[in-house]
Amino acid sequence: MMATDNLRPVEALYLLDEAGKEEMNTETGLAASLVYLGVNGYITPQNKGFSLTTKGQHDRLMLRPYETKMLDCIDKKHPEGLVNILYKPDFRHEATQNGFFRTEKTRKSLWVFKWNSTSHTPTGKFNQAIGELDDLRKEIETASQRQDSLTPDKMAMAYAFPSLALSDGFRRYASEVVGAVEASQIAAQTAMMNAVYIAVILPGFMNSSR
């Protein structure tokens, strides 16, 4: 049995990120998650985004919790919510539960303060998985160079390798969603700063100049 059996593309991406071979961020993680849902028939392209298929609406038993949350966001036409679903600590917890890491607790202290610290150490299964993913990357690169076709599952797993620079609807959609969220956050921060200036700083300045 292979160590990567049953891994989703985004879960493989997380392991590769931990190994320092790829970078998992909001955009790459979102694209890797969306492609799995698309290839397996849970979502379908619609206008500039996605909509749920009948399977995505009614047949979710085999999905991870984060995938179900993503479908809910897509169904509610709330793409911005997608960026708040994927967190590395959640993937670390699941990877540990599945034997890719083992936890080690150590007692630390600083002056009179004492606390427990937990570290996650890669296991042999982790190293095996990284080796299998390295082989998969070579297979995908070779197929791309030869213009050979890949199975749908391997097409989806290609998104575990952002450095391959794939570009299609899933990656573009993820980039647009992340960009929109970042723009709204900047606008909100600017509005808050302006409000503080008007409510606090400006009155104080006016009073001091009298």
pLDDT tens readout for residues 185-210: 554 455 555 555 445 554 554 555 55
Domain-embedded: residue 4: no
Domain-embedded: residue 147: yes
Domain-embedded: residue 92: yes
Residue 25's domain comprises 9-208
H helix intervals, 109-162: 124-146, 152-157
Residue 146: Cβ-neighbour burial (10 angstroms; 0-12, 13-18, 19+): exposed
Nearest to 41 by CA among 77, 6, 71, 85: 71
Domain-embedded: residue 202: yes
Tokens at 21, concatenated:
């071979």
Between the alpha carbon of residue 210 and those of residues 29, 173, 184, 202, 207, the distances in Å are: 55, 54, 38, 13, 6
pLDDT tens readout for residues 133-186: 999 999 999 998 888 888 889 989 999 999 987 766 677 878 888 777 666 555
Domain-embedded: residue 142: yes
pLDDT tens readout for residues 27-42: 999 999 999 999 999 9
Structural domains counted in the chain: 1
Domain-embedded: residue 2: no
* Residue 51 bridge partners (DSSP): 44
Domain-embedded: residue 95: yes
